[in-house]
Structure 1
């Protein structure tokens, strides 16, 4: 999408950082309050807005996009754990003839980063580490200034001041061990180029190295790999049976995993996982192909189904994943975000939209578009998962927010909804 010149906000960043939650408008509420807890107005939380229902404005909008060939994937709206709207359009695997359905798991790209934050906060809650710990408390082989100045809090807020060599997006990985070794080496190539805590370093080419560092701290404290920890203590506890950090081999053989379809010159779409030599022509993805990575890690490429993301939200509310103080800490605003009522929390944005908080995360890459949004004041969860380039993800998210909050939500800088 084009940059938003009116406010200087990159619409692409709003997609990959968190859709509605990064685009915020208006004010009131509080993180992880409501959702049937008695802290919100019952008349507001009990109401099912007509535009969220089957046949409502949101349903009609997504159906129109699908009919025009502009959406392939799944959308879901849930209120207090009960599905209000669930739609699936298009193909999860064109070669095998697998159509989308609720049980299909999609690559979330950077939309899986909050699972890392939950993992860290679980260990904090258990007293096994603190957010104020210097990274050198847990990791060896780092530059002295990094080990002594950068904290876990800095890593999760993207304010570590770290940079590292730009990842080689053309490299094809072939095993979990190769991916793990690569990230261990990458973390130890990090350099301190800013003052820790002074501001976001997410714009730096290797600014994501801080997330890999945080994942390795999870490994050092827990004694297991990041993948195994998240599978057992996040996905397992939350009952997210269709979600995982799947390998490329599983992507090719498991019928419930959506294949990403990347746009090529001339308008054709190719299966990313079956064409590792090709990349998307979308300039924002730098020719990236998510299949090359073999398996995701801290910065992204975990998989989830739409119902599993609803289960994740419920597990945050009911204490399954974190107790209430640490769940509030997970979702609480830490820094100003890219819009007047948007803020940065741990590895995700939070925002105030039509008088209620929205937390969530978006992700985008070659053939991948994902966004999950939690509306804790009123108990709603919205999920948008797609598997081909060209989907107007931000506009879908804004329409979702309008349906849920019952009021207009203007895109950053104004404009229409695709």
Structure 2
């Protein structure tokens, strides 16, 4: 039996007054055509999301904005099934790998300030790595998943570090494991998605700035972007906070269980995937990023432009590249930048359309695929 679905469409309260003054918002006096009907409340996109929620195939919150103004915001499903708390437009979700956009941005901020360079080697900033890694792996390769650093993405047995109970302990323990792991391949010769590589980047941020990675991101990304409900939360903090959606991961028998209460939930997934946020905070991030409030526009172009060609994937596109912590997709001759985020009980997507002034955000506390939702959104925006 499908769980009751909660749905709210919120436009007026999230309207233009709070969103003005950025590059995604129209200049004063500039008129814009009305958003397509299929992207507005009751349109084809809204109906698809609601239909999947009614089948218990989606639980979460979506937001679509044009020129900085929300066109559609709706929430479905339950944030906490045990306590019958529905998802809402302001529900906080685990972002998983969307966190990588913040880590990459922090590196680019430090490059812009002249404190490090993309061609710097790993050993120029961090000690304790084998010479093979320290002298050959570059920041560029870490950002593009071409470094060969870290443990294979898929392994057997219980993940290490489940007994770590502090942000510093997670960072130090993960770095120790990475230092003991041989390179998977010669740096720069292939692409292999690496969460460990982004832990290394987080450690570089901490070393160069003298702050913890987490404090640096709070101070130099979340705060200037106006992301007031975004933070890095520990497992215990998630359990204690009813504003945060519980991640429901799919079991072998098709049922769903609360991942955060499982014995496999880590304290945090750190610089690779440990941030939590809302759809409105991610819209604020997209506005700040494209307006040059977080990074000079020239450097925004650097990190969001394609660096490594990726093979065909879903949802379909003409071409897809990985940049510096950002995916760069072209569909119907239009550019889309952002990132996905997935894990046990999480399926997320941030899509920014720089030349069309659209932003789409999907945050889900199910790990059921959201590709049909993303595919329709992209086709409606770019057609």
Q: Which category describes the TM-score, using the shorter chain as reference length?
A: 0.7 to 0.9
The corresponding residue for 2:186 is 195
In 1, Cα distance between equivalents of 2:181 and 2:325: 19
Match runs of 1:175-194 below 5 Å: 175-194=166-185
Residue in structure 2 matched with residue 61 of structure 1 by the alignment: 48
Contact 2:24 2:68 in 1 (8 A): no
Residue 237 (structure 1) aligns with? 224
Q: Tell whether 2:190 aligns with 1:213.
A: no
Q: Distance in 2 between matches of 1:86 and 1:403?
A: 16
Aligned partner of 1:19 in structure 2 is none
TM-score when normalising by structure 1: 0.79
Q: CA deviation at 1:273?
A: 1.7
Contact 2:279 2:363 in 1 (8 A): yes
Once residues 26 and 71 of structure 2 are traced to their aligned partners in structure 1, the CA distance between those partners, rounded to angstroms, is 20
- Work out which of the residue numbers 324, 330, 344 in structure 1 matches 2:297: 324
Deviates more, 1:259-268 or 1:365-374: 259-268
Deviation per residue, 1:316-347 (Å, 9 max, x gap)? 11111101111111111111122351111112
In the alignment, the residues of structure 1 paired with residue 117 and residue 34 of structure 2 have an alpha-carbon distance, to the nearest angstrom, of 40
Q: Report the Cα distance in structure 1 between the residues aligned to 2:339 and 2:253, rounded to whole angstroms.
A: 32
Corresponding residue number in structure 2 for 1:403: 380
Structure 1 position 259 matched with structure 2 position 250: no
CA deviation after TM superposition for structure 1 residue 37, in Å: 8.7
Q: Report the Cα distance in structure 2 between the residues aligned to 1:149 and 1:180, rounded to whole angstroms.
A: 22
* Cα shift at 1:97: 2.4
**How do residues 270-281 of structure 1 correspond to structure 2 at under 5 angstroms?**
270-274=257-261, 276-277=262-263
Cα distance in 2 for residues equivalent to 1:364 and 1:107:
9
Listed one character per residue, the Cα deviations across residues 342-372 of structure 1 (whole Å, up to 9, x for unaligned) are: 1111123111111210011111111111111
Q: Which residue of 2 aligns with 1:354?
A: 332
Greater relative contact order (Cα < 8 A, sep 6+): 1
Q: CA deviation at 1:184?
A: 2.2
CA distance in 1, matches of 2:184, 2:83: 48
* Cα drift, residue 35 of structure 1: 4.4
- Identify which range, 63-72 or 375-384, moves more after superposition: 63-72
Asked whether the 8 Å contact 2:98–2:273 carries over to 1, the reply is: yes
**262, 268, 271: which one aligns with 1:295:** 268
Equivalent residue number for residue 103 of structure 1: 90
Say if 2:317 is the partner of 1:345.
Answer: no
Q: What are the equivalent positions in structure 2 for 1:146-157 lying under 5 Å apart?
A: 146-157=133-144
Q: Which residue of 2 aligns with 1:21?
A: none
Deviation of 1:164 (Å): 3.2
Work out whether residues 246 and 296 of structure 1, in 8 Å CA contact, stay in contact via their aligned partners in 2. Answer: no
After superposition, the C-alpha distances for 1:199-220 in whole angstroms (9 at most, x for unaligned) are 2132xxxx43221111111010
- Which of the numbers 340, 346, 355 marks the counterpart of 1:377? 355
1: CA distance, partners of 2:334 / 2:152: 40
- Residue 6 of structure 2 is matched in structure 1 by none
1:305 aligned to 2:315? no
1:70 corresponds to which residue?
Answer: 57
How far 1:309 moved relative to its partner?
Answer: 0.8
- Give the aligned partner of residue 4 of structure 2: none
Distance (whole Å) between structure 2 residues aligned to residue 199 and residue 174 of structure 1: 34
List gaps (5 residues or longer) in structure 1: 1-33, 278-288, 408-418
The answer on whether the counterparts of 1:350 and 1:359 sit within 8 Å (CA) in structure 2 is yes
Report whether the alignment pairs 1:159 with 2:159: no
Cα deviation, 1:96-127, whole Å, max 9, x if unaligned, reads 22211111111111121111100000111111
Question: How much does 1:399 deviate?
Answer: 1.1
- The alignment's C-alpha RMSD in Å is 2.1
Worse-superposed segment, 126-135 or 170-179: 170-179
Partner of residue 18, structure 1: none
Aligned pairs for 1:24-63 within 5 A: 35=24, 46=33, 48-63=35-50
Flag as ranges the 4+ runs of structure 1 deviating above 6 A. Answer: none
Contact 1:53-1:85 within 8 A present in 2 as well: yes
1:286 equivalent in structure 2 = none
More displaced 10-residue stretch of structure 1: 257-266 or 230-239: 257-266
TM-score for both structures, normalised by structure 2: 0.86
1:122 aligned counterpart, secondary structure: helix
Task: Call closer, same or farther: CA 1:246–1:58 in 2, change over 3 Å.
Answer: same
